[in-house]
Structure 1
Amino acid sequence: MADMLLSYFREKQKHTQKEKVSNTQCPFCSVQCRMQLVEQTSVTRKTYRTVGLDNPTSKGRLCIKGLHAHQHAFHKDRLMHPLIKQDGEFVQVSWEEALSHIALNIKQIQHEDGYDAMSVYGSASITNEEAYLMGKFARVALQTKYIDYNGRLCMSAAASAGALTFGMDRGLTNALEEVSYSECIILAGTNIAECQPTIMPYFEQAKENGAFIIAIDPRETATTNIADLHLKLKPGTDAALANGILKVIVEENLIDHEFIQNRATGFEKVKQHLNRLSLEEIENKTGVPQNEIRRAAVAFGEKATGMILTARGVEQQTDGSIAVRNFLNILIATGKIGKPSCGYGAITGQSNGQGAREHGQKADQLPGYRSIENEEHRAHVAKVWGVDPEELPRKGVSAFEMIQKMDQGEIKGLFLLCSNPIVSNPNARFVKKALSKLKFLVAVDLFVSETAKLADVILPTTSYLEDEGTMTNLEGRVTLREASRPALGEARHDWQIICDVARALGKEQYFSFHSAEEIFNELREASKGGTADYYGITYDRLRGKEGILWPCPTLDHPGTKRLFEQSFAHPDGRAVMTDVPNDPAIAKEQPCARYPLYLTTGRVMSHYLTGVQTRKSSSLAARNFESFMEIHPDTAVKFGVQDETLVKIKSRRGSIIVRSKWSKAIRMDTVFVPFHWNELQNVNRLVEDKLDPTCRMPGFKVSAVQIEALHTMR
């Protein structure tokens, strides 16, 4: 009888509960973890659970963001229909009306102010196909030179350093799996444990294998906790610290003479520069004791294998590009590049931070990492696009400089795709003022972001569950994210929206795509022979291999796991070393009597970028529902700040109010605030807008601030 009842209830459950499985990839960080969303539908409700899928990079692991990513995709505030602003309010309209309105306004701006009066601001969270199409859209459909993207605020320092030193930029010069077997690892300005937690096991395995790990960070973090040596430097002094490490390596003769002689240029000039520096001066500047600098240098120099990985802590500086180049000097001097378990890694932040910077969204770039100023490169891409090379605009300016041109009235219109510059850029109040001056703003997004609120038209796009395309992870591994869920409401894919707007502008012949795969096949042709050569990669190959590392020049090429084994990408095959000053060309703010503390910024594990998506996830928002200021208890007492109380932080640009969080993990001269919140908690209101002279990266990581307790200590 019991068996009969059990059988009955199982059969009943089978008919009342249905299960749908969707294979996808996480939309957040650059690891691009593969995962599966399982939707169970019963008579009374739907439930979701996410499980990891095995893959070459994260091996089936997921972090808290990936586990709950679906919550924002199904959020009630998802945009479902096009909106036009009428009398200050957004009104739902048809796609036809929205596209007609966009075309009319763009053509009017072009007629009255010229083609360069329109601008395009892209994203590093979109697919390769969409990033490629954005570059083509700007140059062919709008015929403007003004295009850049939010990756400028993320990866530009490392990208420029790699290109100048090695002749090319790829996130990791070797596969991530080699980390586990490296004997010494320098983690400079990267908090992998919170920002890319699913790859931490590689570093833990390296530790188990006996690796000596050196962490460079003003704060103690979950990442520095695994280090054998933590260099707790003053914010903004990374270049000087690298000089100290390199000086000891050279003086102790821990260099690889044969490698330098055969495969590098510039070493003698670097050596002469280092001879003029003193470790005492570097200790005073960085706050790192000489004995710790020496210990780090000897450890890295003596080991047979070693890797250096950098991230935003080093890169988001007004000397970020040259600082990264100094860490690359260390690799070249010791010959630890192009060999097993030796190399460099730029820990990309955004989900497609690598791929999105390769195929034409950058101001000076064409697909395949080609230069828009190179006549041969222009001719190749123009042929693929079916246009005259002379019709292609020349290079524009960086993302923040475009915003400055909006403020100055030179740029009148903006097509904004999946980005939130009001929150993400420095001097955020200025950014909002500048965007408010535009004649016309189109925003494409999942939600009405802080920036989208200023738009004249908002177009609804699809989420990671619905939009198919390729992504390139932090290794340079191209993966295929297939989508099995339909678009919600009237939302359209980013690539469809770009094609729709181009059609409305009369440029349909250049944008007549019917699938992401069609776009990718054109991208393959456009990148062929370029630095980032995707020609040998196809959707069918990606389905079979679960990712291919570029360059991949032919259909039978396996992909390139390790770069620079025989030569570097400069014409002479050599890496270029350069001397790096302790003091940057553009002076950074220093604490003073009025603004006595350093402010540095960063991420927390449960949120991503400006929080537009993660703050829509109840499970993630519950973990960090408001911003905070991390401050050393002794510093807090000095300024009368109680733990867990509201405090005003003020710089020369503005002020914010956050909650204090006492922590002995941070330097006593420094406070830390994450950047995922908006309005009165937007820390980028405090950051100055000076830019790195090489890559045009803002200096997010160093500001001088004062703090004011809003509750008096008893």
Structure 2
Amino acid sequence: MTTIQASDTAGPGQAAGTVDTHCPYCSLQCGMRLTGTPVQVRERPDFPVNRGALCGKGQSAAAVLSPAARLATPLVRDGGELRPASWDEALERTVAGLSAAQRSHGRDAAGIFGGGGLTNEKAYLLGKFARVALRTINIDYNGRFCMSSAAAAGRKAFGIDRGLPFPLEDIPHSGCVILVGSNPAETMPPALRYFRELRENGGKLIVVDPRRTRTAELADLHLQPVPGTDLALALGMLHLVIADGHRDEAFIAKRTSGFEQARAAAMAHWPERVEQLTGVPVERLTAAVSLFAEAETGMVLTARGPEQQSKGTDTVGAWINLCLATGKAGRPYSGYGCLTGQGNGQGGREHGQKADQLPGYRSIEDPADRAHVASVWGIDPDDLPRSGVSAYELLDGLGQDGGVRALLLMGSNPVVSAPRAGRVTERLRALDFLAVSDVVLSESAELADVVFPSTQWAEETGTTTNLEGRVILRRKAVDAPEGVRSDLYLLHELAARLGVEKGFPDDPEEVFDELRRASAGGQADYAGISYARVAAEDGVFWPCPDEQHAGTPRLFLDRFATPDGRARFAPVTHRPSAEEPDADYPLYLTTGRVVSQYQSGAQTRRVPELNRAAPGPFVELHPHLAEQLGAADGDLIAVTSRRGRAEAPARVTDSIRQDTVFMPFHWGGAGRANTLTNPALDPTSKMPEFKVCAVRVERAEAAR
């Protein structure tokens, strides 16, 4: 195999040799091999996460490298229309727009909105740009919409947030795994082999989901609760663990704190009450507890289902309680983990894109953390801004007094992906100035005053951190089109034009080396991780405090990352969702993904083979509901919530609850699911309640 450098590449979309790199999509960051002219994706069986397997998105990833599929020159708005422009013109317009907002309305009138798909280098430099070049408090990112509840609960319980505290390879060796609100068969197909291997080894799989998904069909036991009742379900299971004598008293006494408060909360959730709340029969609840509690080892893995709720932090905390009470944490083949969604959802939240964080998962409010990062950046700690507002709060205040008036949007498409998306679209239109940097002309970029064409995964080198906490290296394989530049170049040029000429290098390895220094001693410590090590070792797990350290594939085996080394139970109790069905809106809506599209679809909807497999949105509904509506497969269905209306063809199936409809969220336009969703926020994580809201449904013809 020949590994090529940027200087060896043949041209746009053409690989001059063979390059081992990683998929641009989900948090698995599957290994792949690029070769040929035009570049082709090949299997890379030596990478341990996917062992050569790729889903359809990964197999077709090279299609977005085509000049026909992506932006190839900056655009600026003149006379209401976007037209091609030079980089100098686009940069000058952006500096003018940001500066004018700050002169008229103060520093915090300029804002940044980032993305969970940005490399660690981009996420790091974007956070530094906000705090050093703009000196604004207003920065957050779309990862707030993905893993923030799990992150908050994990930090409360364990003192640290890493999606999985163990590598994926441990899953097949566990005795029982509970998957809560996760459908890896469609969201990360190469990971499904770990659950198949679990069952082949004699382990049990329990899936909790309102829909009988392809993953649920693999399960030994499928629990199908009412949307928004995962918290009650976890409390009911803990009640039975305690009542039936399944708790691990020695583990609780030696390695945890706060059990009595959690016990008291759980005992108020007896099985019959939980059945009334969740719709899960007592006998199935009891069967699940027996499978999990009686297994020697066990894991609970959550995804967006329980996390994207206005009580998501408490819900995840309740599932962590179940692990702690049964002694299934801090031991081999046991523990709680979050199946992170976006490609760099883990690294993206570690290095400064969140409103309250500095690199290394440091707190922007902690004096010692501020002093350390300021010393790396060469500034006075007093010059660092404080915390800003969360993602939806930032978007909701755009263009208003006290809110952001000029926004730089990088690697995100909130017109499709944000909750209450109609409102967010209005707020983006209300800005004095909007600049967007992206690979494609997304729905959000179409609203911009300036659009920058950014290099993408195979056109640049950089690191990401997958759901295991494994830092990996994406290598440049092809040259970008002539008019395309990296986001690091964009930030370098903007900072210089704003008067900060040093501190914003556009070489990714130079940025990463600074990130290592900034993260040193923090929870997400990358100090011992270098490009050379990552390349040689197929990734290095953080924390890794020095170059002699082996990295940390498995956390918590000796102690938890709390001050006293003990995991903390969460004293949580069930409460309703922010919006429950009523006479006007009698059904639940839940949202999610399909296997052939990704996130807002901005890139995957430009790949013909993926569009053939998943050409558009749909409304999944139960046959009984379809009969009541007089609707059949393919009929146009109108779904209405208190925030708006969406229309999409019916998909009739008995795999969903009768009181629930499902829509995928990958499309804009009339079928935009996030027109409907509720922006009610979790008080701790500020996660919007994507996964449950009240709707009514009708045949579209009848609704007009």
Amino acid in structure 2 at the alignment position of 1:94: S
Q: Does residue 604 of structure 2 align to residue 614 of structure 1?
A: yes
Counterpart position of 1:486: 479
Q: CA deviation digits over 1:132-160, x for unaligned, max 9?
A: 11110100011000100000000101111
Counterpart position of 2:182: 190
Counterpart position of 2:265: 273
Q: 1:360 aligns with which of 352, 361, 368?
A: 352
Q: Is the 8 A contact 1:641 1:712 kept in 2?
A: no
Q: Does residue 56 of structure 2 align to residue 64 of structure 1?
A: yes
Larger radius of gyration: 1
Q: CA deviation digits over 1:200-228, x for unaligned, max 9?
A: 11110110111111100000011111111
Deviates more, 1:214-223 or 1:89-98: 89-98
Q: Is the 8 A contact 1:444 1:460 kept in 2?
A: yes
Counterpart position of 2:587: 597
SS at match of 2:36: strand
Q: Does residue 381 of structure 2 align to residue 389 of structure 1?
A: yes
The change in CA–CA distance for 1:378 and 1:47 in structure 2 (over 3 A counts) is: closer
Amino acid in structure 2 at the alignment position of 1:431: V
Counterpart position of 1:436: 429
Q: 2:31 aligns with which of 19, 31, 34?
A: 34
Query: Residues of 2 paired with 1:273 and 1:538: CA distance?
Result: 46
The change in CA–CA distance for 1:551 and 1:436 in structure 2 (over 3 A counts) is: same
Counterpart position of 1:173: 165
Q: Does residue 159 of structure 2 align to residue 164 of structure 1?
A: no
Q: Is the 8 A contact 2:360 2:518 kept in 1?
A: yes
Q: 1:414 aligns with which of 407, 410, 414?
A: 407
Q: CA deviation digits over 1:565-585, x for unaligned, max 9?
A: 11111111111112211115x
Counterpart position of 2:369: 377
Query: Residues of 2 paired with 1:72 and 1:561: CA distance?
Result: 33
TM-score of the aligned structures, taking structure 1 as reference length: 0.95
Query: Residues of 1 paired with 2:653 and 2:642: CA distance?
Result: 26
Q: 1:634 aligns with which of 624, 638, 660?
A: 624
How do 1:112-123 and structure 2 match up within 5 A? 112-123=104-115
Gaps of 5+ in 2: 1-13
SS at match of 1:406: coil
Counterpart position of 1:218: 210
Q: CA deviation digits over 1:13-48, x for unaligned, max 9?
A: xxxx997434321111000011122324xxxxx574
Q: Is the 8 A contact 1:23 1:483 kept in 2?
A: no
The change in CA–CA distance for 1:610 and 1:243 in structure 2 (over 3 A counts) is: same
Deviates more, 1:404-413 or 1:106-115: 404-413
Query: Residues of 1 paired with 2:177 and 2:411: CA distance?
Result: 35
Counterpart position of 1:623: 613
Query: Residues of 2 paired with 1:607 and 1:278: CA distance?
Result: 40
Q: CA deviation digits over 1:39-94, x for unaligned, max 9?
A: 24xxxxx5745333421211111011000011122151411111110111112221
The change in CA–CA distance for 1:407 and 1:93 in structure 2 (over 3 A counts) is: closer
Q: Does residue 661 of structure 2 align to residue 677 of structure 1?
A: no
Query: Residues of 2 paired with 1:113 and 1:49: CA distance?
Result: 49
Query: Residues of 2 paired with 1:564 and 1:322: CA distance?
Result: 21
Query: Residues of 2 paired with 1:296 and 1:116: CA distance?
Result: 50
Query: Residues of 2 paired with 1:472 and 1:18: CA distance?
Result: 25
Q: Is the 8 A contact 1:248 1:297 kept in 2?
A: yes
SS at match of 1:661: strand
SS at match of 2:409: strand
Deviates more, 1:254-263 or 1:380-389: 254-263
Q: 1:653 aligns with which of 630, 633, 643?
A: 643
Q: Does residue 447 of structure 2 align to residue 457 of structure 1?
A: no
How do 1:187-586 and structure 2 match up within 5 A? 187-410=179-402, 411-511=404-504, 513-584=505-576
Amino acid in structure 1 at the alignment position of 2:35: V
Query: Residues of 2 paired with 1:613 and 1:97: CA distance?
Result: 26
Counterpart position of 1:6: none
Q: CA deviation digits over 1:270-323, x for unaligned, max 9?
A: 112222332211110000011111111121111110011000011111111110
Query: Residues of 1 paired with 2:34 and 2:158: CA distance?
Result: 40
The change in CA–CA distance for 1:232 and 1:75 in structure 2 (over 3 A counts) is: farther
Query: Residues of 2 paired with 1:22 and 1:563: CA distance?
Result: 32
Q: Does residue 136 of structure 2 align to residue 139 of structure 1?
A: no
Q: Is the 8 A contact 2:237 2:289 kept in 1?
A: yes
SS at match of 2:680: coil
SS at match of 2:178: strand
Q: CA deviation digits over 1:393-419, x for unaligned, max 9?
A: 000011100012215332111010010
Deviates more, 1:86-95 or 1:146-155: 86-95
Counterpart position of 2:89: 97
Q: Is the 8 A contact 1:120 1:146 kept in 2?
A: yes
Amino acid in structure 1 at the alignment position of 2:629: F
Counterpart position of 1:662: 652
Deviates more, 1:590-599 or 1:609-618: 590-599
Q: Does residue 698 of structure 2 align to residue 708 of structure 1?
A: yes
Q: Is the 8 A contact 1:640 1:712 kept in 2?
A: no
Q: Is the 8 A contact 1:641 1:711 kept in 2?
A: no
Query: Residues of 2 paired with 1:376 and 1:116: CA distance?
Result: 24
SS at match of 1:171: coil
Q: Is the 8 A contact 2:15 2:477 kept in 1?
A: no
SS at match of 1:76: helix
Counterpart position of 1:82: 74
Q: Is the 8 A contact 2:185 2:214 kept in 1?
A: yes
Query: Residues of 2 paired with 1:52 and 1:604: CA distance?
Result: 25
Query: Residues of 2 paired with 1:247 and 1:322: CA distance?
Result: 16
Counterpart position of 2:7: none
Query: Residues of 2 paired with 1:99 and 1:276: CA distance?
Result: 59
Q: Is the 8 A contact 1:248 1:298 kept in 2?
A: no
Query: Residues of 1 paired with 2:626 and 2:17: CA distance?
Result: 52
- Please report how far the alpha carbon of residue 712 of structure 1 lies from its aligned counterpart in structure 2 after TM superposition: 7.7
The change in CA–CA distance for 1:679 and 1:409 in structure 2 (over 3 A counts) is: farther
SS at match of 2:642: coil
Q: Does residue 677 of structure 2 align to residue 687 of structure 1?
A: yes
Query: Residues of 2 paired with 1:526 and 1:580: CA distance?
Result: 35
The change in CA–CA distance for 1:18 and 1:213 in structure 2 (over 3 A counts) is: closer
Q: Is the 8 A contact 2:114 2:142 kept in 1?
A: yes
Amino acid in structure 2 at the alignment position of 1:481: R
Query: Residues of 2 paired with 1:49 and 1:336: CA distance?
Result: 40
Query: Residues of 2 paired with 1:480 and 1:278: CA distance?
Result: 49
Q: 2:633 aligns with which of 640, 643, 646?
A: 643
Counterpart position of 2:101: 109
Amino acid in structure 2 at the alignment position of 1:267: F
Query: Residues of 2 paired with 1:656 and 1:710: CA distance?
Result: 10
SS at match of 2:206: strand
User: How many residues are aligned here?
Assistant: 689
